[in-house]
Structure 1
Amino acid sequence: MNDRLTTPWGTCTLARFPEDPRDRLRAWDASDAYLLRHLAASRTPLTGAVVVVGDRWGALTTALAEHRPTQITDSFLSREATRANLLRNGTDPDGVRLLTTQDTTPSRVDLLLVRVPKSLALLEDQLHRLAPGVHEGTVVIGTGMVREIHTSTLRLFERILGPTRTSLAEQKARLIFCTPDPGLERGANPWPYRYQLPDGIGPLSGRTVTNHAGVFCADRLDVGTRFLLRHLPSGRGAERIVDLGCGNGVVGLAAALANPEAEVLFVDESYQAVASAEATYRDNAQGVAEFHVGDGLSGMPAAGVDLVLNNPPFHSHQATTDATARRMFTGARRALRPGGELWVIGNRHLGYHVKLRRLFGNSELVASDPKFVILKAVKQ
């Protein structure tokens, strides 16, 4: 939905991406508004190199567009939302520098605004990468809802950049103020992280996985993926397989090893995830593979895929929603050829079988345990 954010510099009309009339979630929250109020009230200089990190739907970047900020995000959807919101408010997106978490960070940062992410690992990685550009005069301000800012969050700022304190809460939001210490011994950036998979999981046993910061299950194989690996289809020949929402690419890699004639496409909306999947694949396989950052299968030609493997998320930042799963299922159906299959793993309580029957006209239970179900839907 479109929503209006009133700032000290005017009112912005904002929306999430992609726009969905059924989505009632806002494109900004109280922490965005709190930060903008503080910048105006404190008369913080908005000159020099302004860098905005983790701006979820472009609210901060859009509000500060006249100051030509650099935005850094791990999310394709957030980046596209920013572009759309800039245009919606009469600003040329080319006037703002849009970077991903895989791009080289700015060499100098005069004002650093950080929207605290859900992942502490992603925050750690970004602070490490930005630290060389931060100087003694840099103003560093973080923002987030109270439930998102913990003692561990403040310790990261303090350990990597310098002394840190917080504001009083307003509307359940809080600010973080950090004073850079250029002489701080911060140690090395631990990301990306590599670990060895356990034995007993078929062709993946003992193989090495690469995880960039912020990607799900950074240091271990999660139980849901382990369950799916035991039931993946094999011997399918020269087919086109998609690991949709690929994360670190373990599922797609397993499909490639079990189906050596197949071509595998790894897709995620996270730049960190796709970089992880590519590194994991290159270390362990030699077949034909593609790696794509985007909004699911929205850009793929229709009826060109034989098999889609999917473990959809059911959170968008802190909000619980089935919107992402719904878009993934719809995109998969459009991309599948007649007779093509979508395999989905999810928690039992999510009721994906109902959505699949409504969309595909069928849903078959492949396997289940007390927590998870694996479902198969066939395009008629």
Structure 2
Amino acid sequence: MTTPFGSHELTRFPADPRDRLRAWDAADEYLLRHLDAGTGKRGPVDLAGAGQVTVLGDRWGALVTALAAYRPTQITDSALTRAATEANLARAGVAAGTVTLLTTQDAPPQRIDVLLVRVPKSLALLEDQLLRLAPHVHAGTVVVGTGMVKEIHTSTLNLFERILGPTRTSLAEKKARLIFCTPDPAVTAAATAAAPAGGGWPLTYTLDRDAGSGAGLTAVNHAGIFCADRLDVGTRFFLQSIPTNTDGARVVDLGCGNGIVGTAVAVADPDAEVVFADESYQAVASARATYEANVRRGSRDRAEFLVGDGLSMLPAGSVDLVLCNPPFHSHQATTDATALRMFAQSRRALRPGGELWIVANRHLGYHTHLRRLFGNSEVAASEPRFVVLRAVKREKRPRPM
């Protein structure tokens, strides 16, 4: 990526030379050009003397890597973004500690003088984070958002205006657009005062009788979780099919979201050891809350919560059962790369005889990938839109002498 602030070799995470998706896009480039525009001093704001620079929603660390000289703070919901950022900063020769890395669950900087926002896919997450950041901006804070045209809607602009202050947009360039917001202390004070505790998050609801093994359980969702206000149809179908009589097995809820699948197993089999794994900090916080809302306090020592790259943190051959509702999007891009990585990680983590169960849209054809990877795949349940597939890790047979 070549910018007015220098050229950098950037990769997504996990790095894959076959991946054609870049670690930056036109929205990142547009924002960086804007920050360098103007005369007399570097850009519309003198970043060198501006004070605290915060970057919210940086996709793969492109923005903070380019702006590392100004010691920015990155706030992200993604452990993969954090890993990519660390790798990109190291590749650029940026000393450790130059960029402060925070999650969406961490307390934000006390005072924010420049706020750069990469608009997220989830409007709820944007609202949640703007409400968290509003008390830390001031009348002189420079607020600039960026995103592709298809990511910025009237509702997006309304959030900035309602929570921070007057908002306008730029002309589009290369299908990207900027958002300019002027913080008004009266607006930020009113927005934060009117918002319910925690901005209305997390949301909580009870699963109905049609939710299979999840019926009657309480789901807790932080902002940004898929289908936060209801049980999505794929998970509902999955809960009607998954094995819950696990006989004290070590079970992983992979890509756990709000953790309702793993919690259903934990409630059905109190002897099960359940691992909740997701790359989203918001998701794992939701899974922990869901688990604690349904499992008795004295039985909560049999769960583990992991934020990171799928099952890469687990030892090989340490798991009996993996349950997964894999995503097929990476930000706005449709891709099966994440799902295939989950399948490969599952095979590595499973013990011989261990099983991977997934639910997916029928048209994705994941059975072919499972057969290639595991040597087998069978349909455990199906309906017109979704299919539940089961694959078993076979024991390796010794080669004949």
Query: Shorter-chain TM-score: which interval?
Result: over 0.9
Distance 2:17 2:269 in 1: 40
Alpha carbons 1:197, 1:209 under 8 Å: kept: yes
Pair 1:371 & 2:385 matched: yes
Q: What is the aligned partner in structure 2 of residue 21 from structure 1?
A: 17
Alpha carbons 1:237, 1:260 under 8 Å: kept: no
Q: What is the aligned partner in structure 1 of residue 337 from structure 2?
A: 323
Distance 2:98 2:74 in 1: 11
Alpha carbons 1:239, 1:262 under 8 Å: kept: yes
Q: Which range moved further: 233-242 or 328-337?
A: 233-242
Distance 2:214 2:345 in 1: 28
Pair 1:257 & 2:249 matched: no
Distance 2:17 2:373 in 1: 19
Equivalent of 2:94 in 86, 91, 94: 91
Compare the two structures and name the one with the higher strand fraction: 1
Q: Secondary structure at the match of 2:357?
A: strand
Q: Which range moved further: 88-97 or 101-110?
A: 88-97
Alpha carbons 2:211, 2:237 under 8 Å: kept: no
Pair 1:180 & 2:183 matched: yes
Letter in 2 for 1:255: V
Distance 1:95 1:78 in 2: 17
Calculate percent identity across the aligned residue pairs: 70
Q: Which runs of 5+ in 1 are unaligned?
A: none
Q: Secondary structure at the match of 2:168?
A: strand
Q: How does 1:42-121 map to 2 (within 5 A)?
A: 42=38, 43=43, 44-46=45-47, 47-121=50-124
How big is each residue's C-alpha offset from its partner over 1:52-82, in whole Å with a ceiling of 9 and x where there is no partner?
A: 0000000000000010000000000000000
Pair 1:360 & 2:352 matched: no
Q: What is the aligned partner in structure 1 of residue 226 from structure 2?
A: 216
Distance 2:304 2:214 in 1: 19
Q: TM-score when scaled to structure 1? A: 0.97
Q: Secondary structure at the match of 1:126?
A: helix
Q: Secondary structure at the match of 2:146?
A: strand
What's the offset of the Cα at 1:204? 2.9
Q: Secondary structure at the match of 2:200?
A: coil
| Number of corresponding residues | 376
Q: How does 1:124-139 map to 2 (within 5 A)?
A: 124-139=127-142
Distance 1:91 1:266 in 2: 33
Distance 2:214 2:387 in 1: 21
Alpha carbons 2:115, 2:142 under 8 Å: kept: yes
Distance 1:237 1:206 in 2: 22
What's the offset of the Cα at 1:258? 2.1
Q: Which runs of 5+ in 2 are unaligned?
A: 395-401
Pair 1:230 & 2:236 matched: no
Q: Secondary structure at the match of 2:120?
A: coil
How much is the aligned-residue C-alpha RMSD, in angstroms? 0.9
Alpha carbons 1:62, 1:85 under 8 Å: kept: yes
Q: How does 1:137-286 map to 2 (within 5 A)?
A: 137-184=140-187, 185-186=190-191, 187-188=194-195, 189-286=199-296
